[in-house]
Amino acid sequence: MSFYEEIKANNRTTYFLFLAFFLLIIILGIVASYLLDSYIFVLLFGVFALIYIVIAYYKSDSIITALSGAKPADPQKFKQLHNIVEEMCIASGMPKPKVYVINDIAINAFATGRDPQHSVICVTTGCLQRLNRAELTGVVAHELSHIKNSDIKVMTMAAILVGLAVLMSDFLLRMFLWGSMGRGSNRKGGQIAIAGIVIGLALAVLTPVIAQVIRMAISRKREYLADASAAQITRYPAGLAGALSKIKGDKQPLKTANKATAHMYIANPLKGQKIWMKSMFATHPPIDERIARLQKM
């Protein structure tokens, strides 16, 4: 598969996953509104989601850099890194993002920001010390691809939808526990009410799990997409493949990473953690599969 085909295939899958996500939220809202006998519930969550979206959208770069302990990369001290970023920006037709560095021996990197004009690319000192120039170029191209492909906005929206789904499901569960179910309490003998209660309870329990599964699936697809885009920018897939090979062999966890930010990195920074049903809940696709795809391009 060429990188053009890879990009198209991953975009189609991402659109499908987001459709499934929105349908899940809509169904949950309808059930909640029915049980409450009021659509004010959906309206309130809509207002809350809008406020959350605005804050996450405009402050994502400063929030993530602060959480990760990243510092601005001095242009003289990290001259090669700045040169590579500038070269990849020219190749991709993008403005140069702010360049940051995390002082950590683990090999990893991430990008953040709401658009190319307000973006950040960050690498660890482990990347600078343990990757050769071609491999570091592949990593930088991968992170720039996340910015160019609007992956930051995609994953921000996915995180917001997960949070909204979890809040709605938690509210439904509390309704059931407290025995306050609006319309359902007035129609206890009705089969429709009973069916609604059963569906609502099932959704309340399963929604957080389903939402996380969809979010992780979107995250994995965007990683494949960024790999393909990096190959398109550099015209040298072997560079990124070599970097991923070294990342695979790196057993050092990134100290400043956590579960909330793990999906943003080029590879899972939480080394050695056991994940239940790993293929479904992993933030990144298997590195061997990513390397194999790059080698075929």
User: How far is the first Cα of the chain from the last one, in angstroms, to the nearest whole number?
Assistant: 6
- 135 catalytic residue (yes or no): no
Residue 246's Cβ-count burial label (10 Å; 0-12, 13-18, 19+) is middle
Structure-token pair, residue 222: 């965007």
Q: In whole angstroms, how far apart are CA 253 and each of 21, 64, 122, 203, 276?
A: 31, 18, 16, 35, 19
Q: Are 238 and 291 in contact (CB under 8 A)?
A: no
The HSE-up count of residue 251 (CA atoms within 13 Å, CB side) is 1
Looking up tokens 């699936």 gives: 217
Structure-token pair, residue 180: 């306050």
Q: Interior CA angle at 70 toward 69 and 73, to 5°?
A: 150
CA separation for the pair 114, 150 (Å, rounded): 8
Catalytic residue among 5, 86, 87, 143: 143
Q: Are 294 and 238 in contact (CB under 8 A)?
A: yes
Structure-token pair, residue 163: 């949070």
Q: How many CB atoms lie within 10 A of CB 251?
A: 8
Q: Which of 146, 84, 80 is nearest to 113 (CA)?
A: 146
CA separation for the pair 188, 183 (Å, rounded): 9
Q: Cite the active site residues.
A: 143
